[in-house]
Amino acid sequence: DAKTTQPPSMDCAEGRAANLPCNHSTISGNEYVYWYRQIHSQGPQYIIHGLKNNETNEMASLIITEDRKSSTLILPHATLRDTAVYYCIVSDNNQGGKLIFGQGTELSVKP
Protein backbone atom coordinates (compact mmCIF):
# COMPACT_ATOMS: atom_id res chain seq x y z
CA ASP A 1 0.00 0.00 0.00
CA ALA A 2 1.05 3.57 -0.65
CA LYS A 3 2.49 5.36 2.36
CA THR A 4 1.35 8.80 1.25
CA THR A 5 -1.86 10.80 1.25
CA GLN A 6 -2.60 13.44 -1.36
CA PRO A 7 -5.70 15.48 -2.24
CA PRO A 8 -7.43 13.90 -5.24
CA SER A 9 -7.58 17.09 -7.27
CA MET A 10 -6.45 20.72 -7.38
CA ASP A 11 -6.85 23.68 -9.70
CA CYS A 12 -4.28 26.35 -10.45
CA ALA A 13 -4.35 29.46 -12.61
CA GLU A 14 -1.84 29.61 -15.43
CA GLY A 15 1.26 31.56 -14.43
CA ARG A 16 0.65 31.13 -10.73
CA ALA A 17 2.53 28.83 -8.40
CA ALA A 18 1.06 25.37 -7.89
CA ASN A 19 1.60 23.97 -4.39
CA LEU A 20 0.87 20.26 -4.13
CA PRO A 21 0.81 18.82 -0.60
CA CYS A 22 1.66 15.30 0.48
CA ASN A 23 1.32 13.65 3.85
CA HIS A 24 3.75 10.84 4.74
CA SER A 25 3.45 10.67 8.51
CA THR A 26 4.86 7.12 8.76
CA ILE A 27 8.02 7.84 6.79
CA SER A 28 11.13 6.19 8.20
CA GLY A 29 14.55 7.74 8.54
CA ASN A 30 16.07 6.19 5.43
CA GLU A 31 13.14 6.78 3.10
CA TYR A 32 13.26 9.40 0.39
CA VAL A 33 10.34 11.45 -0.90
CA TYR A 34 9.94 11.23 -4.68
CA TRP A 35 7.60 13.10 -6.99
CA TYR A 36 6.52 11.90 -10.40
CA ARG A 37 3.85 13.18 -12.72
CA GLN A 38 1.83 11.53 -15.47
CA ILE A 39 0.41 13.50 -18.33
CA HIS A 40 -2.60 11.89 -19.94
CA SER A 41 -1.76 8.83 -22.07
CA GLN A 42 1.96 9.01 -21.26
CA GLY A 43 4.24 7.14 -18.86
CA PRO A 44 5.12 8.75 -15.54
CA GLN A 45 7.90 11.34 -15.50
CA TYR A 46 10.37 11.89 -12.66
CA ILE A 47 10.28 15.40 -11.19
CA ILE A 48 12.39 15.59 -8.05
CA HIS A 49 13.32 13.77 -4.86
CA GLY A 50 14.70 14.59 -1.41
CA LEU A 51 15.56 13.13 1.97
CA LYS A 52 15.66 15.95 4.52
CA ASN A 53 16.70 19.15 2.85
CA ASN A 54 14.66 21.22 0.46
CA GLU A 55 15.53 20.60 -3.17
CA THR A 56 15.17 22.59 -6.37
CA ASN A 57 15.72 21.73 -9.99
CA GLU A 58 14.65 23.15 -13.33
CA MET A 59 11.17 21.68 -13.00
CA ALA A 60 10.14 22.24 -9.40
CA SER A 61 11.01 22.77 -5.74
CA LEU A 62 10.46 20.26 -2.96
CA ILE A 63 9.87 21.50 0.56
CA ILE A 64 10.07 18.84 3.30
CA THR A 65 8.97 19.71 6.83
CA GLU A 66 11.51 19.39 9.61
CA ASP A 67 9.76 16.33 11.08
CA ARG A 68 9.61 14.87 7.52
CA LYS A 69 5.95 13.95 7.95
CA SER A 70 4.82 16.04 5.02
CA SER A 71 6.12 17.77 1.94
CA THR A 72 5.04 20.21 -0.75
CA LEU A 73 5.90 20.18 -4.42
CA ILE A 74 6.00 23.67 -5.89
CA LEU A 75 5.70 24.42 -9.57
CA PRO A 76 6.67 28.11 -9.54
CA HIS A 77 4.91 29.26 -12.73
CA ALA A 78 2.37 26.67 -13.81
CA THR A 79 1.57 26.33 -17.50
CA LEU A 80 -1.20 24.45 -19.26
CA ARG A 81 1.33 21.71 -20.03
CA ASP A 82 1.68 21.05 -16.30
CA THR A 83 -1.84 19.62 -16.21
CA ALA A 84 -1.24 16.05 -15.04
CA VAL A 85 -1.59 13.60 -12.17
CA TYR A 86 1.16 14.18 -9.60
CA TYR A 87 2.34 11.28 -7.45
CA CYS A 88 4.17 11.58 -4.15
CA ILE A 89 6.04 8.38 -3.24
CA VAL A 90 8.26 7.37 -0.33
CA SER A 91 10.82 4.66 -0.79
CA ASP A 92 14.24 3.55 0.38
CA ASN A 93 17.07 1.82 -1.40
CA ASN A 94 16.33 -1.46 0.37
CA GLN A 95 13.14 -1.85 -1.66
CA GLY A 96 15.12 -2.30 -4.84
CA GLY A 97 14.06 1.01 -6.23
CA LYS A 98 10.49 -0.07 -6.96
CA LEU A 99 7.91 2.67 -6.74
CA ILE A 100 4.61 2.23 -4.90
CA PHE A 101 2.18 4.70 -6.44
CA GLY A 102 -0.94 5.97 -4.70
CA GLN A 103 -3.85 7.74 -6.35
CA GLY A 104 -2.00 11.02 -6.82
CA THR A 105 -3.33 14.54 -7.23
CA GLU A 106 -4.92 15.54 -10.52
CA LEU A 107 -3.73 19.08 -11.15
CA SER A 108 -5.69 21.17 -13.64
CA VAL A 109 -4.00 24.36 -14.79
CA LYS A 110 -6.58 26.76 -16.15
CA PRO A 111 -6.09 29.78 -18.42
Binding site for other proteins (CB under 8 A): 2, 32, 34, 42-46, 49, 85, 87, 93, 96-104
What is the Cα 2 distance to its own chain's centre? 13
Residue closer to other proteins (CB basis): 15 or 57: 57
Residue closer to other proteins (CB basis): 56 or 103: 103
What is the torsional sign of CA 47, 52, 55, 61?
A: positive
Residue closer to other proteins (CB basis): 5 or 14: 5
Q: Residue 65 contacts by C-beta under 8 Å, 6 or more apart in sequence?
A: 71
